[in-house]
Amino acid sequence: MIHYNMTTPSPDDPGAPLGFAKHDHHACVTDALSVAEARCAEEGLRLTPVRRKVLEILLREHRALGAYAILDLLREEGFGSQPPVAYRALDFLSENGFVHRIERLNAFVACTHADEAHSPAFMICRLCDTVAEAQSAPARGALGAAAKAAGFQIEKTVVEAEGLCPACVDKAAS
């Protein structure tokens, strides 16, 4: 089962790409922050100012950012600017499913449906680095069978597809 992530398109905000579809980005950011706050309150997690700001940055940018790019933005907003500041916030956020690490890019993206438990799959454009998140369950299929046969216990899976996003396909064709 896979669920392609796509929110309501909106003509009044050209915005940054979510998945590869346009959408009401301002609402998308504030909604996601609210969801995160609610879940932290529920579960006794501490969404401190730095952590909240990092999540906000990633939601706002809506693409994969390296830790040092995040760090630059944190500095601009008056937060600490040494690497551990960013890495610690990112650790918290990814441990709790608010952001995902993109191994292929050594970078991070905000999760676009942080409320559900999920094992994400990503589509990464090799030209513009845009990242779209999809849902998948690789451990249930062929890989799961191989692991079972081998006696390997899967705890987590990384699925990342690299290729061309719709916009870059068009550009390449022209």
Q: How far apart are CA 124 and CA 162, in angstroms?
A: 5
Of the residues 53, 121, 128, 129, which one makes contact with a second copy according to CB under 8 A: 121
127 binds, among DNA, a second copy, none (CB under 5 to 8 A by kind): none
What residues are paired with 149 via a beta bridge? none
Rule CB under 7 A: say whether 49 interacts with DNA: yes
**Least separation in angstroms between CB 106 and a second copy:** 8
66 touches, from a second copy, DNA, none (C-beta below 5 to 8 Å by class):
DNA
77 interface partner picked from a second copy, DNA, none, CB below 5 to 8 A per type: none
DSSP 173: H
Give, rounded to a whole angstrom, the gap between the first and last alpha carbons of the chain: 34
How many other β-carbons are positioned within 10 Å of the β-carbon of residue 92?
20
Per-residue HEC secondary structure of 39-61 comes to HHHHHCCCCCHHHHHHHHHHHHH
Q: Are strands 107-110 and 131-135 parallel, antiparallel or unpaired?
A: unpaired
Measure the CA–CA gap between 161 and 97, rounded to whole angstroms. Answer: 20
Asked if 73 is part of the footprint of DNA (rule: CB under 7 A), the reply reads no
Q: Does 107 bind DNA (CB under 7 A)?
A: yes
Q: Which is nearer to DNA, 69 or 168 (CB)?
A: 69
Q: Which two tokens stand for residue 134?
A: 């999809």
Candidate residues 31, 48, 169, 171; the one interacting with DNA per rule CB under 7 A = 48
Interacting residues with DNA (CB under 7 A): 46, 48-51, 66-69, 79-85, 87-89, 92, 106-107
Interacting residues with a second copy (CB under 8 A): 1-4, 6, 19-20, 103-104, 121, 123, 125-126, 132, 134, 136-139, 141-143, 145-147, 149-166, 169
